Amino acid sequence: MNKKSSRGLLFGLVLIVQACNLMMEPVTQKTRTAVPSNKVQEPSPTIIQDGSQTETPQALPLTTETKRAERTQVTVTAVDGNLFIRRGPHLAFNPIGVLYDGMTVTAVGRDMLSRWVQVGQSSQAGSMGWISIQTSFSKIAGEITSLPVIDTTDWPAGAFIRNCTHHQMLAQPGDHFLPSSYEFPDNEVSVFPGIYSVYDLDVPDKPVLIEMVEVREGVEVDIREDAEGERRKCP
């Protein structure tokens, strides 16, 4: 037997011995130990197959319904004559406009005693004035007390008429008696701002109209001429 044959035979014997050893070893199976998990599995969404498409519900906003009491509209109408619109709630304030006979205006406020109402002037945008509701020339529609009370902090300035003649005079309206300056040198009379007709009382038969004057706040108007044409200077 040559060397190559001997080596081949020896290698074959080694392989047979290793195979026998492997067959005699016990077979052990490895088992996996389940490891607990802290992750919570969320349930899968249920799909409803009804052919319809559902929308994601949304929370409706909360709304609070505020009830506002509707204010009754109050209007004033001039009847049987014209009405002055004054800059304040008193006759002592200057006239700043006129509500003519038959015209109606909406009131937006009132004074504390509910004797005057505040109105807007159509001739002057944004300008407000006051109308007296104590006169028979004003007609009110609506509830006065539903209007807000408007406080005024302004005070009127005085207005005066002075008679410089030696005749007795009368200023209308208001029956303002004006004594002669001869008897009463300091005879100025306080009046409300407005337009006055001045009559001479010292003439036969009936008083004679001398002139018509407009009196404003802070102004003194002098009457210097009588019905006989005699003109005098004021003392």
Tens digit of pLDDT for each residue in 143-185?
A: 999 999 998 888 999 999 999 999 999 999 999 999 999 988 8
Question: Is the predicted pLDDT of residue 39 greater than 70, yes or no?
Answer: no
Tens digit of pLDDT for each residue in 196-217?
A: 999 999 998 889 999 999 999 9
Q: Can you give the residue ranges of every domain in the chain?
A: 74-146, 159-223
Angstrom CA distances, 207 to 162, 184, 204, 231, stand at: 18, 20, 8, 18
pTM over 0.75: no
Mean pLDDT for 49-68 is: 43
Contact 147, 116 (CB under 8 A): no
- In whole angstroms, give the CA distance from residue 3 to residue 11: 13
For 37, phi and psi rounded to 5 degrees? -115, 140
User: What pLDDT does 231 receive?
Assistant: 93
Question: Is the predicted pLDDT of residue 46 greater than 90, yes or no?
Answer: no
At the fourth CATH level, the homologous superfamily of domain 74-146 is SH3 Domains (2.30.30.40)
Q: Report residue 48's pLDDT band, with 50, 70 and 90 as the boundaries.
A: very low
- Classify residue 17 by burial, with Cβ atoms within 10 Å: 0-12, 13-18, 19+: exposed
Question: Is the predicted pLDDT of residue 192 greater than 80, yes or no?
Answer: yes
- The residue behind tokens 């004033």 is 76
Q: Report residue 72's pLDDT band, with 50, 70 and 90 as the boundaries.
A: confident
Angstrom CA distances, 86 to 78, 82, 129, 134, stand at: 14, 13, 5, 14
Question: Is the predicted pLDDT of residue 109 greater than 60, yes or no?
Answer: yes
Contact 160, 221 (CB under 8 A): yes
Q: Report residue 53's pLDDT band, with 50, 70 and 90 as the boundaries.
A: very low
Question: Is the predicted pLDDT of residue 44 greater than 80, yes or no?
Answer: no
Both tokens assigned to 214: 């407009």
Tens digit of pLDDT for each residue in 78-91?
A: 999 999 999 999 99
